Structures are given as C-alpha cells and as structure tokens.
Amino acid sequence: MPRHNLFSNSEMRDMLCVYAQEDFNGRRAHRRYLQTYPNRRQPDFKIFKRIYDRLGETGSFRPKRDILGRPKRITVEQEEEILVRVAEDPQISTRRLKTLTGVSQTGVLKVLHKERLHPYYFTPVQFSNFCRIRHNEDPTFLDRILFTDEATFTRRGIFNYRNKHVWDTENPHAVTARHFQHKFKVNIWCGIIDNYFLGPYELPPNLNGPFYLNFSIVSIDD
C-alpha cells in the first residue's frame, strides 16, 4: 500500500468523528476507534490531532505538496507510516522501519525522538521469579544465600575517556599518563549473608582456583 494511502478518506473521516466524540483526546479516541473498528489498521493516538489540524489548515485530509519548494527529507505520510508501524509492533527495529518506509535509520530515529518515543529494554526476571517462588515456599531461603562481590584496585584506576576533557579554543591534543614503572593491585572481597556483612578481605594479587576455594571454606567459616 502506498504511503499516501495508509488510511482512506473514509477512515480518516471516522477518525475525526471518534476524535470529536472523545472531546479531542487522542488517547481516548485511539481506544474507542479500536473498539469500534477492531479489524482496521489502527492509527497512533497522535495521528488523530494531525488529521484534525491538517483538515483545518488545508481543507484536505491529504497534505498538500509544495511543488516549487524544496522537498522535505521526510514527508508527513512517512512520519505517519512510521508511527503506525510502531503502534502495530512496538518491538520493531529501526532497520526494519527503514526497509518498510524508505526513510533512513537516522530519519526514523528523528521521527521517534520527535514524538518522545524511547527504546525501553527488557528486564530479565528469571532469577527474581525463582527467588520469589522459593521464598514463598521457605521464608528463610534468602537468609541462607551468600551474596559476594570482588573488586581489583590498581594504580591506574578506572579511566573514562568520555568523562575527561580539556576546555580550549583549539584542540591541544592533550595526553594523560596511564602506565607506570611500578605497578600494584589489590583484590578485595566482601559478602552479605542474612543480616551479616562479611569482610572486607584482602586477597593476594594473583588469585588461583585452589586458593580461592580454601579461602571460601576456611576464612568465611571463621
């Protein structure tokens, strides 16, 4: 289906009717349109206002093309198609949108950011669900889990080039020392079990499996 035929005139007429019935509230109009026309392609809630404004400004459902002016990089029809496809499939990728709409990935991102749409990533919950189930079976289950963490501290520290900068009128090509003649590192271990904090313990600079196993059995038991 061509982009300018994403919605027919009769569909946009029905959208305006629903929009007016819901006191020009896009989100409520979106829900009512879905209930009234469940088998139709569903518009994004922001498209209701766009169609309403366009009809008032141009007297037409379709955007008028400025033949003499320089064509826009992204047309109104393309923006609407992007929003509709995202509404239909919220997990769609920008690469897929690029293929379907003909708009570059940069252009797709601009449209999404313009509409304040952001990619929210999934949160893994398998371990949390496991703990919740076991805790329901045995309220003392979490009290018997030893939560540990280890950290290594070196003379070089942790350096983030994105956070380090030099203000100047021209690029001074600044450098920073990251290597030293004398090196050292410190390994620190600590843990939490029940309401008890274990450590911190200083471990040897060079760890190996046998030492760590012995440390886990002897030191922690003590």
Distance, in Å, from the CA atom of 44 to the CA atom of 6, rounded to the nearest integer, reads 12
The model carries a pTM of: 0.36
ω into 200 cis (within 30 of 0): yes
Q: Is the distance from CB of 199 to CB of 182 less than 8 angstroms?
A: no
- The pLDDT score that the predictor gives to residue 64 is 62
Q: How far apart are CA 111 and CA 99, in angstroms?
A: 15
User: What's the CA gap between 209 and 211, in Å, rounded?
Assistant: 6
What's the CA gap between 144 and 190, in Å, rounded?
A: 16
Q: What is the Cα–Cα distance from 128 to 140, expressed in whole angstroms?
A: 16
Q: Kindly state the DSSP code that residue 219 receives in the 8-state scheme.
A: I
Per-residue confidence in pLDDT tens, the chain, 222 aa: 334 457 888 888 999 999 999 999 989 999 999 999 988 888 888 889 888 888 888 888 776 654 334 445 788 888 888 988 888 888 888 888 988 888 888 899 999 988 888 888 776 666 678 888 888 999 999 888 888 888 888 776 665 555 565 555 566 666 665 656 667 788 898 989 888 888 888 888 777 888 888 887 776 666
User: Would you say 84 and 51 are in contact if contact means Cβ atoms under 8 Å apart?
Assistant: no
